[in-house]
């Protein structure tokens, strides 16, 4: 018995299975012999370790092979006469997943190719060279998903098959992927979209465009319009929950990439670090570390509300605030409007809040948001908010989105029929939607609070009007900035109207004068002359008849 086994094994090792499968190099006779399951079929099945159907499909791929490979369409056409088409496609996906085959495209036709290892194993009849499906089992599921997504994309798998395939995977409690997605409570269609985008991102190593998604999941233009609207909505659960990220930098359309956390679950062997977001040019991160701590002076009537805002933005209070607001509202964003005349300290207050709370600060620059190209200005607004959300997800503390001189963007909507007015109205609508669903920290400043649309005013939780410094505040400013002034001098100078910003301008003038003149005027005299000139300047700049 042992002698016969060794003899059979030696015979097996002498076979070249590529030659054996082609019966006298006549394809038709080889196919017929395969259907009849002759002795060669049984021997091949034991060599491969496959079941009957899988052996049939693999042998057919070998028989139909040309120098360029095996035509997938020809395989389906011939093998489907005795094996159901969906079974053939499933088996091919398994062979691709486990490294038996790979695909290439020739003149728009997909060809199946034996991998080098499999071809060598068949020619030498050496089973030890065949792929081991148990190797790297943690990555096998994702390979299968990637193959299935590719077949869905090129039309070899139906959308219904894909949906059923994803449903089986994401409800299989043995899989880490199913456990990871379970808490998100996604609908079946959302899971199907999510895994398709993830797989195609891995397949192509690039973001997946809206057109690429729509081609697969939308049977017509109306369905694509609805799908696009759902995917780009700020309430899209896939983006809102951080499973997908929008990419606005593949012109001229939006695209999506899976989150690093999701990729880590899909391919545990690879470490995916969250990349530094590439920000739209209209969103400028300010280096808070370069800000200098500064004492700010405000009127007593303004101090209480300023301290409330500072208190709410303190790191130790943030989570308590969000939890409290989330109990009553869907979104827990903090929106603040600071109004007041020039120089009263609105911008400086924002900087000091960011510095003291340890938060990042992102400045929105409207001039870089506007574009002469149709639709680009609207896209830029969405990109600014989306990029801010990405940064907020990666930050330990929620950063501040800062709209300085916000009246340049949050203006009243118009009834004009011009293209410019139409664009502005669309931008206003986008901004209103974003503010309605905002979960971060937004601070806006303005010199003209009456220029805002009433709809914008309703979307700000805090409205603070910072008044020009009164005499008491001006005296405190002078005493703090110039402690060498006598009490009488400070009292006298405080009777002039000025702001902290105007004192800053005086300081700069003094520094320049000290460099230009060896004996500059004494501080009191110089400051008195500056404030008198300032008063004269304000009087002369009035418009109209006296």
- Of residues 84 and 322, more confidence is placed in 84
Phi-psi region of 544 (alpha: psi -120 to 50; beta: other; left: phi over 0): left
- Say how far apart CA 27 and CA 25 lie, in whole Å: 6
For the cut 90, the answer to whether the pLDDT of residue 2 exceeds it is: no
pLDDT single digits (tens) 356-379: 989 999 998 876 655 545 456 777
277 band by pLDDT with thresholds 50, 70 and 90: low
Q: How confident is the prediction for the chain on average, in pLDDT?
A: 82
350 band by pLDDT with thresholds 50, 70 and 90: very high
pLDDT for res 456:
82
What is the mean pLDDT of the segment spanning 486-496? 92
In the chain, the percentage of residues whose pLDDT exceeds 70 is: 86
Give 321-337 as a DSSP string: HHHHHHTT-S---EEEE
pLDDT for res 7:
32
Regarding pTM above 0.95, the answer is no
SS3 assignment for 213-269: HHHHHCCCHHHHHHHHHHHHCCCCHHHHCCCEEEECCCCCCCEEEECHHHHHHHCCC
Sheet holding 101-106, edge to edge: 70-71, 109-114, 101-106
- Say how far apart CA 88 and CA 77 lie, in whole Å: 11
248 band by pLDDT with thresholds 50, 70 and 90: low
97 band by pLDDT with thresholds 50, 70 and 90: confident
What is the mean pLDDT of the segment spanning 112-126? 89
Q: Which ranges constitute the DSSP H helices of 297-410?
A: 300-312, 315-326, 346-357, 376-394
414 band by pLDDT with thresholds 50, 70 and 90: low
Structure tokens of 44?
A: 């091949």
pLDDT for res 12:
46
5 band by pLDDT with thresholds 50, 70 and 90: very low
Question: In Å, what is the CA distance from 424 to each residue of 78, 368, 457?
Answer: 60, 15, 18
187 contact partners, CB below 8 Å, separation of at least 6: none
Q: Kindly compute the dihedral angle of the four CA atoms of residues 146, 151, 152, 153, in this order, to the nearest 10 degrees.
A: 90
For the cut 50, the answer to whether the pLDDT of residue 173 exceeds it is: yes
What is the mean pLDDT of the segment spanning 456-472? 89
- Of residues 10 and 297, more confidence is placed in 297
pLDDT for res 359:
92
pLDDT for res 230:
87
234 band by pLDDT with thresholds 50, 70 and 90: low
Tell how strand 361-364 and strand 400-403 pair up. Answer: parallel
For the cut 90, the answer to whether the pLDDT of residue 472 exceeds it is: yes
- Residue 15 phi/psi, 5° resolution? -75, 150
- Say how far apart CA 24 and CA 242 lie, in whole Å: 59
Residue in 526, 467, 529 with CA at minimum distance from that of residue 499:
467
What is the mean pLDDT of the segment spanning 402-412? 80
- Say how far apart CA 546 and CA 540 lie, in whole Å: 11
Question: 164-168, 272-276, 439-443: which range is least confident on average?
Answer: 272-276
pLDDT for res 125:
87
489 band by pLDDT with thresholds 50, 70 and 90: very high
What is the mean pLDDT of the segment spanning 139-149? 89
- Say how far apart CA 292 and CA 295 lie, in whole Å: 10
What is the mean pLDDT of the segment spanning 103-128? 86
For the cut 70, the answer to whether the pLDDT of residue 25 exceeds it is: no
């Amino acid at each position: 018995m042992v002698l016969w086994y060794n003899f059979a094994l030696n015979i097996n090792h002498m076979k070249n299975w590529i030659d054996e499968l082609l019966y006298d190099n006549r394809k038709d006779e080889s196919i017929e012999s395969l259907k009849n399951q002759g002795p060669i079929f049984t021997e091949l099945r034991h060599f491969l370790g496959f079941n009957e159907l899988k052996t049939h499909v693999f042998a057919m791929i070998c028989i139909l092979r040309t120098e360029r490979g095996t035509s997938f369409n020809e395989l389906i056409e011939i093998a489907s006469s005795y094996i159901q088409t969906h079974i053939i496609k499933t088996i091919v996906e398994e062979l691709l997943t486990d490294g038996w085959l790979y695909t290439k495209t020739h003149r728009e036709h997909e060809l199946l190719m034996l991998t080098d290892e499999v071809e060598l194993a068949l020619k030498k009849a050496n089973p030890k060279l065949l792929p081991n499906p148990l190797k790297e089992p943690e990555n096998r599921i994702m390979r299968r998903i990637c193959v299935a997504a590719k077949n869905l994309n090129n039309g070899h798998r139906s959308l219904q098959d894909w949906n059923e395939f994803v449903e089986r995977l994401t409800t299989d409690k043995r899989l880490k992927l199913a456990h990871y997605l379970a808490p998100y409570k996604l609908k079946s269609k959302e899971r199907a979209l999510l895994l398709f985008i993830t797989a195609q991102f891995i397949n192509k190593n690039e973001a997946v465009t809206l057109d690429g998604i729509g081609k697969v999941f939308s049977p017509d233009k109306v369905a694509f319009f609805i799908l696009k609207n759902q995917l780009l909505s700020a309430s899209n659960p896939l983006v809102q929950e951080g499973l997908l990220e929008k990419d606005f930098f593949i012109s001229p359309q939006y695209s999506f990439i899976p989150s690093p956390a999701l990729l880590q679950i899909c391919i545990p062997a690879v470490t995916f670090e969250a990349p530094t977001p590439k920000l739209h040019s209209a969103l400028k991160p300010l280096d808070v570390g370069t800000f200098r701590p500064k004492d700010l002076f405000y009127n007593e009537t303004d101090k209480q509300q300023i301290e409330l805002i500072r208190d709410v933005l303190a790191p130790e209070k943030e989570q308590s605030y969000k939890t409290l607001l989330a109990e009553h509202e869907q979104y827990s964003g903090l929106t603040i409007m600071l109004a007041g005349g020039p120089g009263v300290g609105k911008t400086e207050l924002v900087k000091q809040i960011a510095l003291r709370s340890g938060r990042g600060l992102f400045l929105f620059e409207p001039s870089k948001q506007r574009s002469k190209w149709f639709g680009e200005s609207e896209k830029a607004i969405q990109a600014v908010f989306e990029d801010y959300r990405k940064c907020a997800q990666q930050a330990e503390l929620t950063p501040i989105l800062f709209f300085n001189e916000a009246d340049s963007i949050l203006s009243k909507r118009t009834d004009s029929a011009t293209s410019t007015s139409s664009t502005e109205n669309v931008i206003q609508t986008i901004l209103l939607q974003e503010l309605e669903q905002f979960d971060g920290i937004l601070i806006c400043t303005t010199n003209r609070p009456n220029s805002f649309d009433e709809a914008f005013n309703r979307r700000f939780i805090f409205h603070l009007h910072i008044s020009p410094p009164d005499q008491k505040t001006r005296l405190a400013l002078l005493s703090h900035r110039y402690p060498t002034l006598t009490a009488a001098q400070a009292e006298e100078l405080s009777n002039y109207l000025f702001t902290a910003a105007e004192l800053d301008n005086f300081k700069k003038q003094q520094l320049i004068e000290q460099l230009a003149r060896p004996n500059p005027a004494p501080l009191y005299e110089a400051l008195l002359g500056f404030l008198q000139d300032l008063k004269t300047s304000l009087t002369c700049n009035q418009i109209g008849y006296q």
